[in-house]
Amino acid sequence: MIKDLFARYESFCEPYLMEKMVQHQDVASAVSRLKEQSVCKCSVAGKSAEGREIYHILAGTGTAHVLLWSQMHGNEGTATRAFFDVLRFLSAESDEFEPIRREIMNKLTLHFIPMLNPDGAERWQRENTLGIDLNRDALKLTSPEAQLLDDLKKSICWSFAFNMHDQSEYYSAGNSHKPATITLLAPPVDDSGSRPENRIQAMQIVVLLQKNLSYLIPGQVAKWKDDYEARAFGENFQKTGVPVILVESGGFPGDQGKINLRKLNFYLLIEALYAIATHAYLDMDPEEYEKIPLNRENGMFDRIERNCPCISNGYSYITDIGYRKTETYDGKNLTSTEIVDGKGDLTGFGSYEECCNFIV
């Protein structure tokens, strides 16, 4: 039935959040619309360094509390949009998905923090207005946004937490020529790769998601390296005994507006929440976690021209040329420029678009 949900996604897509650039006013408007739904409770959890509201949305009445936050990096808005799709789904009624909805709403209490970094989102940048990467501020808690998340960490005995991000579309899934469309991680608790019970549970959720996503995007699910980062919130939540799942949205062919990535986020969140509500994740073998291919940095190009004839200083040669885009935001418009970012033998790299000059 959950697979059918993927096919019916358009029924639950929040129609007012269609642009990939999500800024504070977009979230504020979406929250205002949610207030009309009796199944959700919306409040202001705190404010950013520049005084913008950071919202806390509650749904469900269960005893298991699940925390989900997005856009702690201001220019990573895919999951923020998917959160409102999930809430729209949970607010629906009288359809074939009611058993899924009922399990989630009766067994879980969901706490959504969409857009933890509204000041960064306003500038479409990773850091907040103080120039601080919030996901490297879990120890010093310099920023008010990090302080808010740390207060939440201490406020409730969490059953699970989901840390949602976007990553570069140029990661590949292992050594394949396919993009790492969704990358998952059960964050480590130390440098030695320890596996306390809560991390094993997070691994089981990752295995479940990898198995189910692979039907939709075969060969395009990867895993982050288990490098311990003491300053990151995922690691610090995990160290307190909360099972944490990191989700990174990468690249998908032809998906410039990240609509397909958003749809996959919606699907994987419903899949994970239902598995938590029903304890279905406990059937997963955590050893399968180690078999998921690792993210490969810069394994993809936007475009590769193979076997290009070139002339330089009178010398003729044949080579591959790879192109990637750089994105800039001037306060009004988001623009991308294609640049040459690789030249030589690009045999081991994938691309979203490719042409080949056949050499006889």
Residues 192-223 pLDDT 10s: 999 999 999 999 999 999 999 999 999 999 99
Check if the beta carbon of residue 307 is closer than 8 Å to that of residue 191.
no
Numbered ranges of CATH 3.40.630.10 in the chain: 2-295
Distance CA 283, CA 277 (A): 13
Q: Token digits for 129?
A: 């207005």
Helical (H) or strand (E) element with 313: none
> What are 281-306's pLDDT values in tens digits?
999 999 999 999 999 999 999 999 99
CA count, 13 A, side-chain hemisphere, 269: 36
Confidence of residue 93 (pLDDT cuts 50, 70, 90): confident
Task: Round to whole Å and give the CA distance between 301 and 354.
Answer: 9
pLDDT at 49: 98
Binned at pLDDT 50, 70 and 90, residue 272 comes out as very high
From CA 16, how far away is CA 29, in angstroms rounded? 9
> How sure is the predictor about 1, in pLDDT bands with cuts at 50, 70 and 90?
confident
Q: Which residue has the tokens 């969409």?
A: 114
Percent of the chain exceeding pLDDT 90 equals 94
Neighbours of 38 (CB within 10 A): 7
Partners of residue 44 on adjacent β-strands? 55
CATH of region 2-295: 3.40.630.10
pLDDT of residue 358: 57
pLDDT (0 to 100) of residue 360: 42
pLDDT over 70 percentage in the chain: 99
Six token digits for residue 347 = 């045999």
Backbone phi, then psi, for 145, in 5-degree steps? -70, -40
68 touches 86 (CB < 8 A): no
The 8-class DSSP code of residue 151 comes to: H
**pLDDT of 356:** 80
- Element of type H or E holding 259: helix 259-278
Count each helix (H run) and each strand (E run) in the chain, helices first: 9, 14
For the chain, list the strands marked E by DSSP: 40-47, 53-59, 64-69, 108-113, 160-166, 172-173, 182-185, 221-223, 244-249, 295-296, 300-312, 315-329, 334-344, 350-356
User: What is the phi-psi region of residue 94: left when phi exceeds 0, alpha when psi lies from -120 to 50, beta otherwise?
Assistant: left
Of 212, 282, 303, residue with least CA distance to 6: 212
For range 114-125, the mean pLDDT? 98
- Report the pLDDT averaged over residues 260-286: 98
For the chain, report the end-to-end CA distance as a whole number of angstroms.
52
Q: What's the whole-model pTM score?
A: 0.96
φ/ψ bin of 176: left (φ > 0), alpha (ψ from -120 to 50), beta (otherwise): beta
Q: How many residues does the chain have?
A: 360
Cα dihedral sign, 202-222-76-254: negative
For the residues 308-322, what does the mean pLDDT come to? 94
pLDDT (mean) for 231-254: 98
Give CA–CA dist 170/167, Å, rounded. 8
Name the band, by pLDDT with cuts 50, 70 and 90, for residue 354: very high
Q: What is the mean pLDDT of the chain?
A: 96
The stretch 23-31 carries a mean pLDDT of 97
Res 37: pLDDT: 76
For residue 3, the model assigns a pLDDT of 81
Residue 131 pLDDT: 98
